[in-house]
A and B are shown apart, each in its own frame.
Chain A
């Protein structure tokens, strides 16, 4: 939780957009490693986009319902029947490293 909470900034920072440290944190959460030279480029790009996005603040949306789905039809229940759509061991065919019926990853414990 520490990482998430540390992303919460005060109002002054919000107006200023993301800092270099923020970019490093966001990249970490996104499981991305940035080269030292890339950090400033992404900071500049993200801040340009965030400044552009700020225009939404000129709209008063306090009474507007958020649109969570664009789906036009009523929700429906699917029959609760298990289906194995990716049959058998085919799903292993694209595994970068497999052992029998398992995907192999670096040791966790």
Chain B
């Protein structure tokens, strides 16, 4: 049975006016977790006692007339690759099964400073490498809408716990679609902000030029409220942007009258499931009916995005994951006699198959004699993919398309075919390569068993337009 919460704005108002309490809200979440998390496996760690204690502190502060912040008393689930001081942060990996960070990620500092409460840490594909949350050392997460289906990945735990009502909101991370694709699978909203919008300090690195943290929520408005808190310049992240952060809720409800919506023809070509196509086009028709103008556009290098991504992301991963050597933190193999043997055994026993596959691919494409043929070429194609977007945005204000080529597949269906799994990210990956913002919003017709994820892409730092279009679509959907 699906459990839903009022909007963050309503919850916040109720908690601040003491018609509801943070403790009662946290207790409700924990009740849902107790009932659902066993079979669904969305949380790796649940901070029951700490969350309740913090909720009581916030309730007490409010009773004393203090203002604990814009998210006062709101419980939030955090993907397990985001550092939380004193709380296990495993990245879904055996190699970090015992790792307890000594610092909070900047996003966690910002959320707790705004009064939010860390409810727990969510399951994920190991080191965010996957599209189904089947690659976790802690077992797969199941889709809250259908337990036989994948919840998407790699932020499948975050999407599942929000979809199931175990938490009102969550944070995920998106390197090639890992927020938007699971949001699409689980019938929730997921936004990847512009690269540099949200500090990556404390986000365990996978592909550093692609990774970005973002909210997973049940509404576009909640996503905007969370963005207001987590965005902004951070001295601790060299790629953090000094671009001013607007109030993302201010431009909601402004409608789409006169906006030019680009439909990239490559996103509606062969290989797109007919149900997905139909729902996306219905969403577009609704935007048209609301006054938007639809423009036919082309992103001609879309077909090269997955290949480009799997060179760049794995190259960065092979370097980023070199730090897991058993010396300073995490798992260390036993019964080793030399340093080199310790490194090798620790990594061989600590990493899962997909992580090893990507580390090896990354090592290969960066190796002597292959660098130009693979890595440099991928960087050049990345330029072409980015230029596609620049040209497209001269013709339109935002781009709309599917988030996934198919409906969610069954758990185990693509487990032995890595390439088939990679291709499920075909519509999300380009955006990471170009660093742009994108959201997935659920869209369904009455009687559909699962909604379809419709994506909206925007120009760099134009999350406001993305949110406005997404909200117009959301209000015309039937989930």
Residues in A lying within 8 Å of B, measured CB to CB: 4-5, 7-9, 14, 18, 22-23, 26-27, 29-34, 42, 45-46, 48-49, 52-53, 55-57, 59, 61, 64-73, 76, 78, 85-86, 90-91, 93-97, 103, 105-106, 108
Contacts and interface: CB of A to CB of B under 8 A. Distances in A.
A69 B208 CA distance: 10
Interface stretch (B37-45, B154-162, B287-295, B361-369): B361-369
B344 interface: yes
B304 A30 contact: no
Query: Does more than half of chain A's interface fall in helix, strand or loop, or is it mixed?
Result: loop
B384 A7 contact: no
Nearest to B341: A106
Which has the most chain B C-beta neighbours within 10 Å: A33, A96, A103? A96
B235 A56 contact: no
B419 A61 contact: no
Nearest to A14: B373
A85 B342 CA distance: 28
The 8 A-B pairs of least Cβ separation, nearest first, read A66-B379, A8-B369, A70-B435, A94-B329, A96-B332, A61-B380, A67-B382, A64-B380
Contacts of B344: 31-33
Contact of B102 (A56, A59, A64, A86): A86
B313 to A, nearest CB: 12
B360 interface: yes
Interface of B: 98-100, 102-103, 194-196, 209-210, 235-236, 238-239, 241-243, 301, 303-304, 306-308, 310-311, 318, 322, 325-332, 336-345, 347-348, 351, 356-357, 359-361, 363-364, 367-370, 373-374, 376-384, 386, 418-419, 422, 433-435, 460-461
Contact of B348 (A32, A57, A108): A32
A42 B356 contact: yes
Given A61-B384, A70-B434, A4 B376 contact: no
Given A8-B368, A30-B363, A72 B381 contact: no
A91 B434 contact: no
B351 A65 contact: no
B194 A31 contact: no
Nearest to B235: A78
A64 B311 CA distance: 17
A103 to B, nearest CB: 5
Given A32-B351, A96-B330, A106-B337, A78 B238 contact: yes
Contacts of A5: 368
Contacts of A96: 326-327, 329-332
Contacts of B322: 31
Contact of A95 (B194, B238, B328): B328
A95 B329 CA distance: 5
A72 B460 contact: yes
B100 A93 contact: yes
Given A8-B368, A53-B307, A65 B195 contact: no
Given A8-B369, A72-B435, A56 B304 contact: yes
B383 A67 contact: yes
Nearest to B342: A106
B359 A32 contact: yes
Which has the most chain A C-beta neighbours within 10 Å: B210, B307, B338, B360? B360
Contacts of A69: 209, 239
Contact of A72 (B196, B328, B347, B378): B196
A68 B378 CA distance: 10
A45 to B, nearest CB: 5
A86 B383 CA distance: 37
B300 to A, nearest CB: 10
A5 B419 CA distance: 29
A59 B368 contact: no
A44 to B, nearest CB: 10
Contacts of B328: 91, 94-95, 103
B368 A97 contact: no
Contact of A55 (B209, B239, B243, B304): B304
Contacts of B359: 30, 32
Contact of B384 (A29, A57, A64, A71): A64
A53 B379 contact: no
Nearest to A7: B367
A21 B388 CA distance: 40
B311 A53 contact: yes
B373 A106 contact: no
B360 A103 contact: no
Contact of A73 (B99, B196, B382): B196
A4 B369 CA distance: 9
B327 A70 contact: no
B370 A7 contact: yes
A30 B435 contact: no
28 contacts: A8-B370, A22-B364, A26-B367, A30-B347, A30-B356, A31-B325, A32-B356, A33-B344, A33-B348, A52-B310, A55-B303, A55-B304, A55-B307, A56-B304, A56-B377, A59-B384, A61-B381, A64-B381, A64-B383, A66-B383, A70-B195, A71-B196, A73-B196, A73-B242, A96-B326, A103-B328, A106-B341, A108-B339
Given A56-B377, A67-B380, A71-B239, A94 B102 contact: yes
